[in-house]
Amino acid sequence: MVEKQITDNSDAAASSTEKPANFIEEIINGHLSSGRFGQRVHTRFPPEPNGYLHIGHAKSIALNFSLAAKYGGLCNLRFDDTNPSKEEAEYVHSIKDDIKWLGFDWEDREYYASDYFEQLFDWAVKLIKAGHAYVCDLSPEETRTYRGTLSEPGKNSPFRDRSVAENLDLFQRMRQGEFPDGTRVLKAKIDMAHPNFNMRDPVMYRILHAHHHRTGNDWCIYPMYDFTHGQSDSIEEITQSICTLEFENHRPLYDWFCDKLDIHHPQQIEFARLNLTYTVMSKRKFLTLVNEGYVNGWDDPRMPTISGLRRRGYTPESIRKFCEYIGVAKHNSVVDVTILENQIREHLNAIAPRVMTVLRPLKVVIENYPEGQVEELQAINNPEDESAGSRALPFTRELYIDQNDFMEVPVRRYFRLAPGKEVRLRYGYIIKCESVIKSDSGEIVELRCTYDPDTLGKQPTDRKVKGVIHWVSVGHAVDAEIRIYDRLFTTERPDKIAEGQDFRSNINPDSLEIIEHAKAEPSLAKVQSGERFQFERVGYFSVDSDSTVDKPVFNRIASLRDTWAKIAKKS
Partner whose binding site includes residue 281, from Mg ion, ligand ATP, none (CB under 5 to 8 Å by kind) = ligand ATP
Q: Closer to ligand ATP at the Cβ: 280 or 366?
A: 280
The residues near 569 (Cβ < 8 Å, ≥ 6 apart) are: none
Partner whose binding site includes residue 243, from ligand ATP, Mg ion, none (CB under 5 to 8 Å by kind) = ligand ATP
Window of 126-134, 147-155, 275-283, 489-497 that interacts with ligand ATP by CB under 6 A: 275-283
| Whole-number Å distance between alpha carbons of 136 and 203 | 9
Min. distance of Cβ 19 from ligand ATP in angstroms? 19
- Using DSSP's 3-state secondary structure scheme, residue 229 falls into helix
Instruction: Name the helix (H) or strand (E) containing 570.
Output: helix 563-570
Min. distance of Cβ 48 from Mg ion in angstroms? 5
Question: Is 464 part of the annotated catalytic residue set?
Answer: no
Report the site for ligand ATP in 43-62 (rule: CB under 6 A): 46-48, 56-57, 59-60
Q: Closer to ligand ATP at the Cβ: 282 or 491?
A: 282
Q: Closer to ligand ATP at the Cβ: 59 or 206?
A: 59
Partner whose binding site includes residue 312, from Mg ion, ligand ATP, none (CB under 5 to 8 Å by kind) = none
Q: Is 244 in the site for ligand ATP (CB under 6 A)?
A: yes
What does each C-alpha distance from 342 to 200, 321, 394, 524 come to in angstroms?
Answer: 47, 11, 33, 25
Q: Is 223 in the site for ligand ATP (CB under 6 A)?
A: no
Question: Is 273 part of the annotated catalytic residue set?
Answer: yes
Q: Catalytic one among 44, 48, 184, 487?
A: 48
| Whole-number Å distance between alpha carbons of 476 and 492 | 43
- Using DSSP's 3-state secondary structure scheme, residue 99 falls into helix
Q: Catalytic one among 44, 251, 283, 416?
A: 283
Q: Closer to Mg ion at the Cβ: 214 or 273?
A: 273
What does each C-alpha distance from 487 to 99, 171, 301 come to in angstroms?
Answer: 24, 51, 10
Phi, psi for residue 199 in degrees, rounded to 5: -95, 0
Min. distance of Cβ 128 from Mg ion in angstroms? 27
Q: Is 113 in the site for ligand ATP (CB under 6 A)?
A: no
Binding-site string for ligand ATP from residue 282 to residue 321, where x marks contact by CB under 6 A and - marks none: xxx-------------------------------------
* CA-angle at 119, arms to 118 and 121, nearest 5°: 65
Window of 43-51, 295-303, 323-331, 406-414 that interacts with Mg ion by CB under 5 A: 43-51
Q: Is 83 in the site for ligand ATP (CB under 6 A)?
A: no
| Whole-number Å distance between alpha carbons of 362 and 431 | 15
Binding-site string for Mg ion from residue 48 to residue 77, where x marks contact by CB under 5 A and - marks none: x-----------------------------
| Whole-number Å distance between alpha carbons of 258 and 254 | 6
Q: Is 274 in the site for ligand ATP (CB under 6 A)?
A: yes
Task: Determine which residue in the list 155, 160, 264, 273 makes contact with ligand ATP, applying CB under 6 A.
Answer: 273
Partner whose binding site includes residue 330, from Mg ion, ligand ATP, none (CB under 5 to 8 Å by kind) = none
Q: Closer to ligand ATP at the Cβ: 243 or 480?
A: 243
CA dihedral 166, 167, 171, 174 (to 10 degrees): 60
Q: Closer to ligand ATP at the Cβ: 286 or 427?
A: 286
| Whole-number Å distance between alpha carbons of 397 and 374 | 8
- Using DSSP's 3-state secondary structure scheme, residue 537 falls into coil
The residues near 516 (Cβ < 8 Å, ≥ 6 apart) are: 481
Window of 40-48, 62-70, 402-410, 556-564 that interacts with Mg ion by CB under 5 A: 40-48
Q: Closer to Mg ion at the Cβ: 47 or 552?
A: 47
Write b or e for each residue in 46-73: b if 16 or more Cβ atoms lie within 10 A of its Cβ, otherwise e: bbbbbbbbbbbbbbbbbbbbbbbeebeb
Partner whose binding site includes residue 230, from ligand ATP, Mg ion, none (CB under 5 to 8 Å by kind) = none
The answer to whether the Cα torsion of 377, 381, 385, 386 is positive or negative is negative
Q: Closer to Mg ion at the Cβ: 48 or 521?
A: 48
Window of 47-55, 169-177, 343-351, 479-487 that interacts with Mg ion by CB under 5 A: 47-55
Q: Is 198 in the site for ligand ATP (CB under 6 A)?
A: no
- Burial of 219 per CB tally in 10 Å (0-12, 13-18, 19+): buried
Window of 198-206, 273-281, 339-347, 437-445 that interacts with ligand ATP by CB under 6 A: 273-281
Window of 45-53, 359-367, 480-488, 501-509 that interacts with Mg ion by CB under 5 A: 45-53
| Whole-number Å distance between alpha carbons of 274 and 335 | 7
Q: Catalytic one among 160, 273, 426, 537?
A: 273
Partner whose binding site includes residue 561, from ligand ATP, Mg ion, none (CB under 5 to 8 Å by kind) = none
Q: What is the 3-state secondary structure (H, E, C) of 52-78?
A: CCEHHHHHHHHHHHHHHHHCCCEEEEE
**In the chain, what is the greatest distance between 2 CA atoms, to the nearest angstrom?**
103
Q: Is 243 in the site for ligand ATP (CB under 6 A)?
A: yes
Min. distance of Cβ 210 from ligand ATP in angstroms? 19
| Whole-number Å distance between alpha carbons of 110 and 104 | 13
Partner whose binding site includes residue 250, from Mg ion, ligand ATP, none (CB under 5 to 8 Å by kind) = none
Letter for the amino acid at 149?
A: T
- DSSP conformation class of 200: S
Question: Is 496 part of the annotated catalytic residue set?
Answer: no
Binding-site string for Mg ion from residue 94 to residue 123, where x marks contact by CB under 5 A and - marks none: ------------------------------
The residues near 538 (Cβ < 8 Å, ≥ 6 apart) are: 357, 359, 470, 559, 560
Hey, how many other C-beta atoms are within 10 angstroms of the C-beta on 338? Answer: 17
How would you list the strands of the sheet with 133-136, edge to edge?
A: 133-136, 185-188, 203-207, 221-223
Residues that bind Mg ion (CB under 5 A): 48
Q: Name the site residues for ligand ATP (rule: CB under 6 A).
A: 46-48, 56-57, 59-60, 243-244, 273-274, 281-284
Q: What are the residue numbers of the active site?
A: 48, 273, 283
